[in-house]
Structure 1
Amino acid sequence: MTTSKPRAPRADGTRNREQLLEVATRVLASPGAETSMRAIAREAGVGIATLYRHFPTRESLVEAVYRDQVVRLTHGARELLDTLAPAAALRCWMDLFGNWIATKNGMLDTLLALIESGTVGHADTRDELLNAISSLLDAGRAAGDLRPDVTAEEVATSLIGIFTVAPQAGPAVTADRLLDILLDGLRPQARHS
């Protein structure tokens, strides 16, 4: 009896899936954008059947976007540390985190239903994100760029606060400015005697 290995996805199928994820991420992040499956397929330049072949339901698409963004955040921390000083890597990662938060605009209801059903593990995601922040903080501490007394939980809570409040504060307060202030507060302070 011969067992066959599962076939590797075709290159065009992989490309279509990546294009669909990219477009869905962008569309779902846009406030007030049309978030129908048909609109996502149209913008990705594929037929609706192709979208449904990769993502049979809206829930499966939202879950894939969510998981893709978490992977980008966790891998992003390592990649940034490979190319930037720790404090600069942390600041760039804060922008990635903001993009991740923004992605939830058009998928919040579906995402909450996925979390409630246990399809998406909120605790697992939280742990992955805290580990990414910890790696940035640890590198910053080792380099002397970041304070030793700040926890990943404190940074995560600050980021959620910034990205929740800044859009409602009006044009005078921007998330970028608040992130810069946060980063300044994470730097070691000179001690005066």
Structure 2
Amino acid sequence: MVESGARAPRADAQRNYERILDVARTVIEEQGTQASLRDVARRSGVGLGTLYRHFPSRDALLEALLRRRFDHLAERAEVLADSCPPWEALTRWLDEFVAGAGRYRGLPESIMATLRDDDSPLHAACLGMRRSGGALLQRAQLAGQVRADVTAVDLFALANAVGWIAEQDPALTGRREHLLALVLDGLGARPRQA
């Protein structure tokens, strides 16, 4: 989409942009989020300068690849909040979040690295998703279903940890749901002891 008053990109520039994104998706699926940008440029058939004109940093490239997914997760949080009880909405959303974190090796680490980096394009792309997940957390806390001392940062750190653990060993990938269930058990509100 072109902003009002801005020129539309040239057709060849738009083709390069799309080709770089397509190739980057493949390269990052193969090599993880720390994949060589030089390899992305070479396999796209463009120079490294062209890649950097479109994506001035690794985070900018990841942001372009992940923006739709993050927007989808933000929208899913709203849908789940409207259609499910608080605990169910939170757990279903976290399951989708953790499942998606396994899409690219290194993604949980990349997300955590940008959590507090306001200047990162990936941070900005995650913001709406984090706010929506935080709203689900707050809703479950208000319903007395999640410990009051859990913050949204805690929630994302734990969810990313499950994603990271699952990518370390194929045997653990199949236990992702179990690991998430253990985390959710820890988040659950506990009755006060006398």
Q: Distance in 1 between matches of 2:145 and 2:180?
A: 15
Which residue identity is paired with 2:131? Answer: N
Q: 1:14 to 1:161 in 2, by over 3 A?
A: same
Q: Distance in 2 between matches of 1:145 and 1:23?
A: 46
Residues 78-117 of structure 1 mapped to structure 2, 5 A cutoff:
78-84=74-80, 85=84, 86-87=89-90, 88-99=92-103, 102-103=106-107
Residue 44 of structure 1 aligns with which residue?
A: none
1:66 and 2:62 are equivalent in the alignment:
yes
The Cα shift of 1:14 comes to: 4.4
Identity between Structure 1 and Structure 2 (%): 20
Residue 184 of structure 2 aligns with which residue?
A: 183
Residue 37 of structure 1 aligns with which residue?
A: 40
Q: Distance in 2 between matches of 1:123 and 1:164?
A: 18
Q: Distance in 2 between matches of 1:138 and 1:62?
A: 32
Answer yes or no: is the 8 Å Cα contact 1:28–1:104 preserved in 2: no
Q: Distance in 1 between matches of 2:24 and 2:7?
A: 26
What is the Cα-based RMSD across aligned positions, in Å? 4.7
Flag structure 1 segments of 5+ consecutive residues without an equivalent: 42-47
Q: Distance in 2 between matches of 1:57 and 1:29?
A: 23
Instruction: Work out the number of aligned pairs and report it.
Output: 173
Residues 137-148 of structure 1 mapped to structure 2, 5 A cutoff:
137-141=137-141, 144=143, 146-148=145-147
Flag structure 2 segments of 5+ consecutive residues without an equivalent: none
The Cα shift of 1:148 comes to: 4.5
TM-score by length of 2: 0.58
Deviates more, 1:58-67 or 1:20-29: 58-67
The Cα shift of 1:147 comes to: 0.9
The Cα shift of 1:28 comes to: 1.7
Answer yes or no: is the 8 Å Cα contact 2:133–2:152 preserved in 1: yes
Residue 20 of structure 1 aligns with which residue?
A: 20
The Cα shift of 1:56 comes to: 3.4
Q: Distance in 1 between matches of 2:121 and 2:12?
A: 32
